[in-house]
Amino acid sequence: MSTRRIRGAAVTAALAAAVTACSAPSGGGSGDGKSGGSVVLGVASEPDTLSPLLGYGKDGNSKIFDGLLARDADLKLKPALAAALPKVTDGGRTYTYTLREGVEFSDGEPLTAADVVYTYRTATDPKTNNTFKSELDAVEEVEASGDDKVVFTLKYPYAAFAARTVLPIVPEHIAGEQDPNTGSFNTKPVGTGPYVLAKWSKGEKLTFKANPRHWGGEPQVKTFTMAVIGDDNVRATRLRSGDLDGAVLPPNLAATFKADDARRTYEARSYDFRAVTLPTANKVTGDRAIRRALDAAVDREAMVDKVLDGAGRPAYGPLPVDDPAFTEGIERTQDLGKADKILDEAGWKPGEGGIRTRDGQRAAFTLLYPSGDKVRQDHALAYASDAKKAGIEVKVESATWEVIEPRMKDDAVLAGFGSTGDPDFGLYTLLHSSLAGDGFNNMARYDNPAVDRALDDGRRSQDPAERTSAYDKLQRALVQDPGYTFLTHIDHLYVLADRWENLNTQLEPHEHGFASGPWWNIEDWQPKK
């Protein structure tokens, strides 16, 4: 997946939000439960932008926009702005979409093929400042055929291309008159989606209102607000007080609502994993022996049990064990004896306080985690404890993303990644050397030619067996040369007032909470009778 950053609000911002964000109506945040009323949801972060040209909604579920295709509850592709799934010809190099009739943007202007062409050409333009260009690398040209047909020509057959066309479509008549990087469209978007943005108070809340022009019909939930609350504890407190109708919560806080009959907990399986980036520029984390020793020293099962309260799985790489492309046999348990042997053979000898040294260099480094994120904090502390058993000192430090970003070239970060839909989506931007240092892509600046070859083969092949082989080679290479220490895959937990029907969850990516959880299809909710 693209690791476009979603900024977490700092604790101070969260506390301010607790005072200034919209208050819940009497009887809870939902207002009139029979009519749907308004819903107030607590999320940990907000997007940097609401423009799809810069990455917003690129994986689907944007409430302001629609893509040519969308995903159902089981992540199967279905038509959205397109009238049907694409017609694929020329050996997988040409995709033709026919647009749905009668679709209008929220300002009343009709959707045409020209809007689709503008969206994709601008998103792939080198002058456009987005970090997901590599995900559309296969696109050679996109052209309109009349007002209702769009033809994509690919440089090479790309098996996962159709899933990339959930990218939201923007109106050329508005966005085309602005600079895509700095224009007002980034904060005042116009789309075809079931909701329109009514107000955005940065760092505080975003309010959305039902779009009466939506081609799928006007939603029953007429208004919903995303209250941006970076601190997990503050979010739980506001939910408990009735100030919020629902919230995304870490396992330990979600558990405190189990006995609450008025609320329901929803669990979403995910590809979201926590990992420690190991920057190659750092004298310690750049050493392969250190990286392999850390991989052996970490107790993943204990992290799932103690940090996640069982709501997750050990991560042996970027793909979860139940992914069809997961390489069986790479599962591994904590092995401190192996870690010691690796370090001994590499010349890292026990020194003062049990911390290893080599040529005067202590085996010590700093691990940063975002302030207010209790789950990452607990992962970081557990990781440091495990590392110390192998003679490696990990100094854990909290900071805002504004502080972390310029330091992540040299310092380790307790990071989160993971994307659904196809192995290429999550792995390419995480590991390919061509994206080293490209924003939040390849944060560890990992560079392994064998992994690059596997990524390229997996992306360009249409043969399922060849793709499976490529990703198998990649996962095995990561075990021998880990650029990250993979820790856990996390189940996302949401607690919500039990007043609506048609709620469920999808298998989720790393970027969750804002457009995921039981409100991924809020436009389909019906009030309970």
Which pLDDT tens digit goes with each residue over 392-441?
Answer: 999 999 999 999 999 999 999 999 999 998 999 989 999 999 999 888 99
In angstroms, rounded to a whole number, what is the distance separating the alpha carbons of residues 357 and 13?
A: 42
Looking at the predicted structure, is the pLDDT value of residue 24 above 70? no
Phi, psi of 382, deg, nearest 5: -65, -40
* Section 307-331 average pLDDT: 95
Q: Torsion angle of alpha carbons 475, 480, 483, 488, nearest 10°?
A: 60
Instruction: Report percent pLDDT > 90 for the chain.
Output: 85
**Taking the chain, what is the end-to-end CA distance rounded to the nearest angstrom?**
40
Residue 240 half-sphere exposure, CB side, CA atoms within 13 Å? 14
pLDDT in tens, 196-229: 999 999 999 999 999 999 999 999 999 999 999 9
Question: In the numeric block, which tokens belong to residue 202?
Answer: 């940065």
In angstroms, rounded to a whole number, what is the distance separating the alpha carbons of residues 384 and 235?
A: 27
Which strands make up the sheet holding 364-370, listed edge to edge? 312-314, 484-490, 273-277, 412-417, 364-370, 393-399
In angstroms, rounded to a whole number, what is the distance separating the alpha carbons of residues 107 and 201?
A: 22
pLDDT at residue 93 in the model? 96
Task: Quote the CATH superfamily of domain 1-50+187-267+495-529.
Answer: Periplasmic binding protein-like II (3.40.190.10)
Higher pLDDT, 401 or 7: 401
* Section 469-490 average pLDDT: 97
Looking at the predicted structure, is the pLDDT value of residue 6 above 70? no
> Do the beta carbons of residue 169 and residue 192 sit within 8 Å?
yes
pLDDT at residue 404 in the model? 96
In angstroms, rounded to a whole number, what is the distance separating the alpha carbons of residues 466 and 264?
A: 44
pLDDT in tens, 238-281: 999 999 999 999 988 999 999 999 999 999 999 999 999 999 99
Phi, psi of 501, deg, nearest 5: -115, 170
Looking at the predicted structure, is the pLDDT value of residue 1 above 50? no
In angstroms, rounded to a whole number, what is the distance separating the alpha carbons of residues 369 and 389?
A: 21
In angstroms, rounded to a whole number, what is the distance separating the alpha carbons of residues 414 and 75?
A: 28
pLDDT at residue 382 in the model? 98
Range in 133-137, 330-334, 409-413 the model is least confident about: 133-137
Report the alpha-carbon angle 186-190-193, nearest 5: 120
In angstroms, rounded to a whole number, what is the distance separating the alpha carbons of residues 315 and 331?
A: 8
DSSP 343: H
pLDDT in tens, 66-95: 999 999 999 999 999 999 999 999 999 999
DSSP 367: E
Cα-based distances in Å from 428 to 43, 55, 86: 28, 16, 24
Q: Which residues, 6+ apart, have CB-to-CB distance to 324 below 8 Å?
A: none
Options 3.90.76.10, 3.40.50.12780, 3.40.50.2300, 3.40.50.2000; which CATH number does 51-183 get? 3.90.76.10
pLDDT at residue 134 in the model? 87
* Section 326-350 average pLDDT: 97
Instruction: Identify the band that residue 16 occupies on the pLDDT scale cut at 50, 70 and 90.
Output: very low
Mean pLDDT of the chain: 91
In angstroms, rounded to a whole number, what is the distance separating the alpha carbons of residues 226 and 382?
A: 32
> Do the beta carbons of residue 231 and residue 238 sit within 8 Å?
no
Sequence spans of domains, the chain: 1-50+187-267+495-529, 51-183, 273-490
> Do the beta carbons of residue 489 and residue 271 sit within 8 Å?
yes
Phi, psi of 284, deg, nearest 5: -90, -55
Q: Which CATH architecture does the domain made up of 273-490 adopt?
A: Roll (3.10)
In angstroms, rounded to a whole number, what is the distance separating the alpha carbons of residues 380 and 416?
A: 12
pLDDT at residue 26 in the model? 30
Cα-based distances in Å from 325 to 450, 473, 474, 475: 18, 11, 11, 10
Instruction: Report percent pLDDT > 70 for the chain.
Output: 93
Write out the E strands in 326-411.
349-350, 356-358, 361-362, 364-370, 393-399
Question: In the numeric block, which tokens belong to residue 19?
Answer: 């005072």
In angstroms, rounded to a whole number, what is the distance separating the alpha carbons of residues 222 and 25?
A: 15
Cβ burial, residue 380 (10 Å; 0-12/13-18/19+): buried
| Residue 20, H or E segment | helix 11-20
In angstroms, rounded to a whole number, what is the distance separating the alpha carbons of residues 231 and 14?
A: 6
pLDDT at residue 4 in the model? 31
Cβ burial, residue 5 (10 Å; 0-12/13-18/19+): middle
